[in-house]
Structure 1
Amino acid sequence: MEQKTTSAPPEHRSLLRAYGSWVVVRSARRRAERTRLTPGSLARTRGHLLSVIAFLAWTAETGLTLDAVTQRHIDDWLDAGGPSRRSVRGFPQWASRRGLTADLDVPGPRRAPEPRDWSTPEQRWTLLDRCLNDDSLPLDVRAAGCLTLLHGISGPRITELTTCHLTGGAQPTIRLGEHPAALPPAAFHLLAQQTEHAVTASAIARISARPSTPWLLPSQLADQPVTAHHLTSKLRHYGLPVIPLRNSALITLAADLPPSVLSSLLGISLTSALNWTRRAGRDWNTYLAARAHDEGLKTSSDRERVRL
Structure 2
Amino acid sequence: MDRSELGLDLCGPCAGSEIDYACRRCGFPGNIYADGCCGRCVVSDRVQDFLSDEDGNLAAQLRPLKEKLTAANPWAVGNWLATSKGARLLADLAAQQAEISHDVLDGLEQDGSTRYLRELLVTTGVLPRRDENFARLRLWLDAALDGLPAARVRVLRPFAEWCILRDARRRSERGTYTPGAASVDRMEIRAAIEFAAWLEMEDLDLGSLTQGKLDLWLASRPTRRIGAFIRWSVARRLTPGKLTAVPKHSGLPTQFLSSEEQHEQLRRCLNDSELPLEVRIVGALTRLYGLPTARILQLTTDRFQREDDGAYLTVDQNPVLLPPRLARLIEEQAARPVGHVSILEQPDGDHPRYLLPGRPPSRPRSAAGIHSLMRRHGLPGLSARNTSMIEAVADLPPIVASDLFGIHPDTAHRWARFAQDSWADYLAACAATEQ
Q: How would you bin the TM-score normalised by the shorter chain? A: 0.7 to 0.9
CA contact (8 A) 1:218 1:224 kept: yes
- Is the aligned partner of 1:172 residue 2:315? no
- Is the aligned partner of 1:94 residue 2:232? yes
Structure 2: how far apart are the matches of 1:186 and 1:222?
A: 25
Who is 1:304 aligned against? Answer: none
Who is 1:306 aligned against? Answer: none
Q: How does 1:60-209 map to 2 (within 5 A)?
A: 60-80=200-220, 82-85=221-224, 87-169=225-307, 170-197=309-336, 199=338, 201=340, 203-206=342-345
- Alpha-carbon deviations, 1:97-116, whole Å to 9, x = none? 22221225343322221222
Structure 1: how far apart are the matches of 2:168 and 2:433?
A: 46
> What is the TM-score when the length of structure 2 is the normalising length?
0.61
- Alpha-carbon deviations, 1:229-278, whole Å to 9, x = none? 22122112112111221111111211222212211221212121012212
Supply the AA of the counterpart residue of 2:263: W
Supply the AA of the counterpart residue of 1:151: Y
- Is the aligned partner of 1:266 residue 2:405? yes
96-105 or 31-40, which moves further after superposition?
31-40
Aligned residues between the structures: 294
Supply the AA of the counterpart residue of 1:182: L
Supply the AA of the counterpart residue of 1:147: L
CA separation of 1:293 and 1:112: change in aligned 2, threshold 3 A: closer
Who is 1:6 aligned against? Answer: 146
Structure 2: how far apart are the matches of 1:261 and 1:96?
A: 39
Structure 2: how far apart are the matches of 1:153 and 1:32?
A: 22
Following superposition, the deviation at residue 222 of structure 1 comes to: 5.1
26-35 or 123-132, which moves further after superposition?
26-35
> What is the TM-score when the length of structure 1 is the normalising length?
0.83
Supply the AA of the counterpart residue of 1:154: P
CA contact (8 A) 2:257 2:383 kept: yes
Structure 2: how far apart are the matches of 1:177 and 1:208?
A: 23
- Is the aligned partner of 1:57 residue 2:197? yes
Structure 2: how far apart are the matches of 1:212 and 1:34?
A: 17
CA contact (8 A) 2:226 2:245 kept: no
Match of 2:390 among 231, 242, 251: 251
CA separation of 1:53 and 1:151: change in aligned 2, threshold 3 A: same
Stretches of structure 2 that go unaligned for 5 or more consecutive residues are 1-140
CA separation of 1:175 and 1:79: change in aligned 2, threshold 3 A: same
Following superposition, the deviation at residue 47 of structure 1 comes to: 0.2
CA separation of 1:202 and 1:150: change in aligned 2, threshold 3 A: same
Supply the AA of the counterpart residue of 1:190: L
Following superposition, the deviation at residue 286 of structure 1 comes to: 9.8
60-69 or 286-295, which moves further after superposition?
286-295
Structure 2: how far apart are the matches of 1:59 and 1:103?
A: 17
Supply the AA of the counterpart residue of 1:243: L
Q: Could you say what secondary structure the match of 2:310 adopts?
A: coil
Who is 2:43 aligned against? Answer: none
CA separation of 1:270 and 1:15: change in aligned 2, threshold 3 A: same
Following superposition, the deviation at residue 33 of structure 1 comes to: 6.7
Supply the AA of the counterpart residue of 1:183: L
Supply the AA of the counterpart residue of 2:184: R
Bigger RCO of structures 1 and 2 (CA < 8 A, at least 6 apart) = 1
The structure number with the bigger radius of gyration is: 2
CA separation of 1:176 and 1:67: change in aligned 2, threshold 3 A: same
Structure 2: how far apart are the matches of 1:290 and 1:36?
A: 34
278-287 or 34-43, which moves further after superposition?
278-287
Structure 1: how far apart are the matches of 2:346 and 2:385?
A: 38
Structure 2: how far apart are the matches of 1:98 and 1:60?
A: 20
CA contact (8 A) 2:258 2:434 kept: no
CA contact (8 A) 1:200 1:223 kept: no
Structure 2: how far apart are the matches of 1:286 and 1:109?
A: 24
Following superposition, the deviation at residue 90 of structure 1 comes to: 1.9
Structure 2: how far apart are the matches of 1:273 and 1:11?
A: 44
CA contact (8 A) 1:201 1:219 kept: no
Match of 2:155 among 5, 9, 15: 15
Following superposition, the deviation at residue 184 of structure 1 comes to: 1.4
CA contact (8 A) 1:202 1:222 kept: no
Stretches of structure 1 that go unaligned for 5 or more consecutive residues are 297-308
- Is the aligned partner of 1:229 residue 2:368? yes
CA separation of 1:222 and 1:29: change in aligned 2, threshold 3 A: same
CA contact (8 A) 1:153 1:266 kept: yes
Structure 1: how far apart are the matches of 2:244 and 2:343?
A: 49
Supply the AA of the counterpart residue of 2:245: P
CA contact (8 A) 2:257 2:430 kept: no
Structure 2: how far apart are the matches of 1:212 and 1:190?
A: 23
Who is 1:275 aligned against? Answer: 414
